Every structure is written in C-alpha cells, then in structure tokens.
Amino acid sequence: GLSTARRLVDSGVSVALVDLDGDSAERAAAELGGLGLQADVGSPGAWPGIVDAVTSRFGGIDLAHLNAGVTTGEADITKVTDDIYRRAVGVNVDGVFYGVRALVPAMADRGGGAMVATASLAGLIGFSPDPVYCLTKHAVIGLVRSLGPQLAEHHITINAVCPSIVDTPLIDDVREVLQGSGFPLIDASAVSEAVVDCLSGEETGQAMVIQAGREALAF
C-alpha cells in the first residue's frame, strides 16, 4: 500500500491513505503530502466518511487501491474460530465489497475512474497452509471479474493483482523460514508497479499474476 502511494505521488497524484492504525496513516500521509485517515474498511459505516473526507480534501476520487488484508495463520480448519474467520472475511472481502460499493457513485460523478483490489496467487490456486485466506482471495477475484462489464458502463475499470508472497511486515513471523528455504519473495515495488499499470490502463476484470522475476500476466 505504501509503495503504491509513493509511486502514485511520483506520478503527480494526490493521495489519501486509510488504515486501521491511524498514526501510521498520518505518518505516511505527512511523508507524501497527502491525507491520512483512521478507519476500519471492513465496516460499512466507515465508507461514507472516507469518501466525504477525500472528496472534501481533493475535490473527488479518481483512483482507488483496495489493499487491506490479513492472514489467519491457521491451517487446521477445525481450529479456525468464529473470530478468526470473521476477521479474515471482514478485512479481505468486506473491505473490498464495501469500498467498491461506496466508490462507484463517487467515480461515476467524475465521469469514470479505476480501482484495483489486492488479491493473491492464493485466489487462483489452492493454498493449504491457510484455507480461509485462500477462500477470501478467491472471493475478491470473483467479484472483480464479475464487476468488470457492469462498471465499464460507468467508465470505471476494476482489476485484481495476485502476487505470491511479498516482502512486507505481514510475513514477519515466517520471513526467516521462507528465506532459509530459498523461497523467492517479491519486492513490494513490483506489486505497486502492477497496481499503477492497472490503474492507468484500459483493461478491466483482470486478475494479474505477479511472481518474483517475472512480468505481471493476466490469468
């Protein structure tokens, strides 16, 4: 998310950063000369305020990267509690759905726009170490593919990026294991490059696979 925001700012875009951790959002926004907002994107009640705040600051919304995500860290389906399940679905699926629902009218009022949701390679294949995470990312890709034709009527594109494992704080607990096994981690800049390409391109309803050392490809 931060890498995408930096790349957009370098391209002349004004950015708003939304995070459950408001202090982090504000620090990043200060670095980038943007707007930092504290909100739970998995809550439907948060989105009207997000849209209003960004519109008030910048005059409208043209681009959106729906990027919030969590893993469960639980492979055994019998040990996935209701709280673990609801948190994963709330962030990974609800955050995208509520975001799209709120952003479509705002972008349509501007004559169009572009959205990218962060899915995962685990949204296209099975991933037994975290089946609930896998479930949520399949849902995101299904939503994106289904919305492509509908949003095209409003001149809005929507795509998903589907990276394998990216070197971010999300993998801090398993980084040493991955590196020790020789697993190739993706630099965040490769993902943000694909995100910005999608935001500035004409394609819609695509799931872009991102793997270390390879160009992003539509699946």
Active site (annotated) includes residue 133? yes
| CA 107 from centre of chain | 18
Question: Residue 39: enclosing H or E segment and its boundaries?
Answer: none
Question: Residue 163: enclosing H or E segment and its boundaries?
Answer: strand 156-163
| Other beta carbons within 10 Å of 173 | 10
Which one of 47, 98, 127, 133 is the catalytic residue? 133
| Contact residues for 118 (Cβ-Cβ < 8 A; gap 6+) | 65, 66, 67, 69, 140, 160, 161, 163, 191, 195
| Contact residues for 100 (Cβ-Cβ < 8 A; gap 6+) | 66, 115, 117, 143, 147, 158
For 88, 120, 171, the CA distances from 81, given in Å and listed in that order, are 11, 23, 21
- Alpha-helical regions (H) of 11-161: 22-32, 47-58, 82-89, 95-109, 131-152
Q: How far, in Å, CA of 146 to CA of 107, rounded? A: 18
Query: Active-site positions?
Result: 133
